[in-house]
Amino acid sequence: MTSKLIAPSTARTEPEAVPSREAWNAALTKRHGRELQERFSAAAVAVCGLGGLGSNIAIALARAGIGRLILIDFDRVDITNLHRQQYKASQIGRDKTDALCENIREIAPYIELEPHTVRLTEENAASLLKDAGIICEAFDKAENKAMLVNTVLEELPDKYLVAASGMAGLGSANAVKTRRVAERFYLSGDGVSDVAEGLGLVAPRVMLCAAHQAHMVLRILAEEFEP
Q: Which residues contact 70 (CB under 8 A, 6 or more apart)?
A: 44, 45, 46, 47, 114, 116, 128, 129, 131, 132
pLDDT for res 203: 84
Higher pLDDT, 166 or 111: 111
| CA 99/CA 87 separation, integer angstroms | 7
| Strands annotated E in 38-154 | 44-48, 68-72, 112-116, 134-137
pLDDT for res 45: 98
The pairing of beta strand 177-182 with beta strand 68-72: unpaired
**Mean pLDDT in residue range 148-158:** 96
Distances (CA, A) of 114 to 12, 129, 202: 29, 11, 28
pLDDT for res 195: 63
pTM of the model: 0.91
pLDDT band at 197 (very low <50, low <70, confident <90, very high): low
| CA 120/CA 70 separation, integer angstroms | 12
pLDDT band at 16 (very low <50, low <70, confident <90, very high): low
Q: Which residues contact 122 (CB under 8 A, 6 or more apart)?
A: 147, 151
pLDDT band at 198 (very low <50, low <70, confident <90, very high): low
Instruction: Please provide residue 162's backbone torsions phi and psi, each rounded to the nearest 5 degrees.
Output: -120, 110
**Does residue 187 surpass a pLDDT of 80?**
yes
- Structural domains in the chain, sorted by start: 32-221 (3.40.50.720)
- Do residues 49 and 26 lie in contact, with contact meaning Cβ atoms separated by under 8 Å? no
| CA 93/CA 224 separation, integer angstroms | 40
| CA 170/CA 198 separation, integer angstroms | 9
**Does residue 200 surpass a pLDDT of 80?**
no
pLDDT for res 9: 43
| CA 151/CA 125 separation, integer angstroms | 7
Residues 202-227 have pLDDT tens digits of: 889 999 999 999 999 999 999 998 87
Helix (H, G, I), strand (E, B) or coil at 178: strand
Residues 62-121 have pLDDT tens digits of: 999 999 999 999 999 999 999 999 999 999 999 999 999 999 999 999 999 999 999 999
* Helices and strands, number each (H, E), in the chain: 7, 7
What mean pLDDT, rounded, does the chain reach? 91
What are the DSSP calls for 123-173, one per residue?
TTHHHHHTT-SEEEE--SSHHHHHHHHHHHHHH-TTSEEEEE----TT--G
Helix (H, G, I), strand (E, B) or coil at 69: strand
| CA 104/CA 33 separation, integer angstroms | 23
**Does residue 61 surpass a pLDDT of 60?**
yes
pLDDT for res 15: 56
**Does residue 199 surpass a pLDDT of 80?**
no
Residues 128-151 have pLDDT tens digits of: 999 999 999 999 899 999 999 999
**Does residue 11 surpass a pLDDT of 90?**
no
| CA 44/CA 67 separation, integer angstroms | 6
